[in-house]
Amino acid sequence: MTRPSPRTLGIVCVCLLVLTAGVTAGVRWARGWTGSVTVLANWSGGEKEQFERAMERFEDEYRIDVVYQGSSALSQVLAADLAAGTQPDVAVLPGPGELMAYAAEGRLEPLDGLFEAGAYDRVWMPKVVGEDGRERTYWLPVKTGLKSMVWHAGGLSADEIARTADGPDGWCLAMESGATSGWPGTDWVEDVLLQQAGPGVYEQWATGGIPWTDARVRKAWRTWGDMVGAGDRTRVDHLLRDNFAQGCPRQRLEHQGSFRDTRWKPVGGDFVHSAEVIPGARADSGHWEVSGDLAAMLNATDEARQLIRFLADPRTGLPDFSANKKAAAPNGSEDPLKRKISSILRGSERHLCWDASDTMPPALRNAFHQAVLRFLVAPDRLDDQLRALEALSAEPRPTLPVCGTGRTTP
């Protein structure tokens, strides 16, 4: 029996793929599919699964095919797509920094009128200035996260938490995160500044109104360095090499966001406000850093508009946590930890401040990531790092309300 040649097999495989694609397209056409929408985001694991379930419901209800592209290098992929004119219809980015710049360049389509804006607090969805100088809504929060949290194993008293926090060995900290390595350190520096200097100083620094070389900013870096053992070569080698997602021994504390709830749940984990363990925190510290994944529309197609409406529907099941005030809160009897986090995120807007690096231009944010890595190795060179960051920060940039206090206007 003569075996088919590799070339013949290749031709058959290609034909089968073409036939399969044609059959799939034919079935969808017969079922009344009306179009497609492309979505770029960086969700993975459980978040990606939750989003995909929501998209299945969207497809079934509206007969619109959702083409999802996941990437851990969102900024680079989106910038390349925009340069080539092949941008996705909808992009979901972490934080408003890049979106502010894209709105000012006329890259984003306004979302006004697609959903009830009053269902969201201003800190999550402010009106910002577009290319034409008019203020509009350019993004929708589809997922939010709480920061300024110190995780611990359940049952620890306040005194036990304080004793554990009093020394570098009491902390879990890992900086490796691929192209974004260093962000756990920027979270720390930002949070220390927020709790020591208050939201007014924090917001001015985040938007360029206070220089990186300011004494209050320098104090925040020094405080964090003392807490985690900056300059200790053996310890720092591990901090730089270890991945942020690794587990944390139950006898230690961890300064991380609400996404870590599943890691701490098996040991009855809970959290306290970071101000309880940060040296020099203000007596009235009550502000929380927050993060969010924001959906923006880059192509104003009917399908993209329908997807934005769907994402804004409070009944749509999206990855935790929703900023929509009309969405159902997590069931406290099933998951009290999630309900506790949700109540803070959906409580008083004036107590929430954006993660500062998420509001910065990409070049400055990336330099901030690198600066914390260098600081851990050589804390005595801090002033050099701060001067370099200030040089990058000198360029004018659009601003937005960083904290719910509304001190800054677009």
Range of the domain at 127: 34-144+291-338
Does residue 240 sit within a domain? yes
Asked if residue 233 is part of any domain, the answer here is yes
Q: Which residue has the higher pLDDT, 247 or 231?
A: 231
Shared domain for 133 and 245, answered yes or no, is no
- Same domain (yes/no): 131, 40: yes
Same domain, 266 and 248: yes
Instruction: Identify the pLDDT of residue 26.
Output: 45
Mark whether 184 and 69 lie in a shared domain: no
Quote the pTM value: 0.87
Alpha carbon distance 36, 301 (integer Å)? 10
Has residue 92 got a pLDDT over 50?
yes
pLDDT at 398: 62
Beta strands in 192-247 (DSSP E): none
Same domain, 138 and 210: no
- Are residues 241 and 309 part of one domain? no
Asked if 271 and 150 count as a contact pair (C-beta separation under 8 A), the reply is yes
- Looking at the fold, whether 112 and 132 belong to one and the same domain comes out as yes
Taken as a whole, the chain contains a residue count of 410
What SS3 class is residue 170? helix
Read off the pLDDT of residues 142-173 as tens digits, 9 standing for 90 and up: 999 999 999 999 888 999 999 999 999 999 99
In this structure, the answer to whether residues 123 and 156 fall within a common structural domain is: no
Q: Is residue 299 part of a domain?
A: yes
- How far is 91 from 142, CA to CA, in rounded Å? 11
- The confidence band for 22, taking pLDDT boundaries of 50, 70 and 90, is very low
**Residue 147's pLDDT is what?**
97
The pLDDT of residue 295 is 97
In a domain, 257, yes or no: yes
Q: Is the separation of the CB atoms in 314 and 328 below 8 Å? A: yes
Task: Of 39-48, 128-137, 270-279, 394-403, give the lowest mean pLDDT range.
Answer: 394-403
Number of domains in the chain: 2
| 253 lies in the same domain as 362 | yes
- Tokens linked to 144: 């939010």
Give the pairing of strands 64-70 and 35-41: parallel
328 inside domain: yes
Which amino acid makes up residue 409?
A: T
Given this model, what pLDDT does residue 397 score? 67
* 245 and 374 assigned to the same domain: yes
Residues 117, 208 within the same domain: no
Answer for the pair 70, 42: CB distance below 8 angstroms, yes or no: yes
Alpha-carbon Rg for the chain in angstroms = 23
- Average confidence score pLDDT of the chain: 88
Task: Using pLDDT thresholds of 50, 70 and 90, give the confidence band for residue 296.
Answer: very high
Residue-wise pLDDT tens digits, 351-361? 999 999 999 98
DSSP string, 84-113: HT---SEEEEESSHHHHHHHHTT-SBP-TT
- Is 135 within the bounds of a domain? yes
Give me 76's structure tokens.
Answer: 């680079």
The yes-or-no verdict on residue 134 having pLDDT over 80 is yes
Asked if pLDDT for residue 9 goes beyond 90, the answer is no
pLDDT at 183 over 70: yes
Same domain, 326 and 220: no
Which CATH number do you get for residue 41?
3.40.190.10
Instruction: Identify whether 386 is part of a domain.
Output: yes
Q: What is the DSSP letter of 134?
A: -
Quick one: pLDDT at residue 260? 92
Out of 5-14, 47-56, 130-139, 373-382, least confident range: 5-14
Whole-number Å distance between alpha carbons of 303 and 17: 27
179 phi/psi in degrees, rounded to 5: -65, -15
- Residues contacting residue 39 through CB under 8 Å, at least 6 positions apart: 55, 66, 67, 68, 69, 88, 89, 90, 91, 92, 307
pLDDT score for 179: 84
Residue 74 has pLDDT above 90, yes or no: no
pLDDT band at 394 (very low <50, low <70, confident <90, very high): confident
Provide the 3-class DSSP secondary structure of residue 318: coil
Q: Check residue 78 and give its pLDDT.
A: 93
Mean pLDDT value across residues 113-122:
89
Task: Evaluate whether residue 24 is within a structural domain.
Answer: no
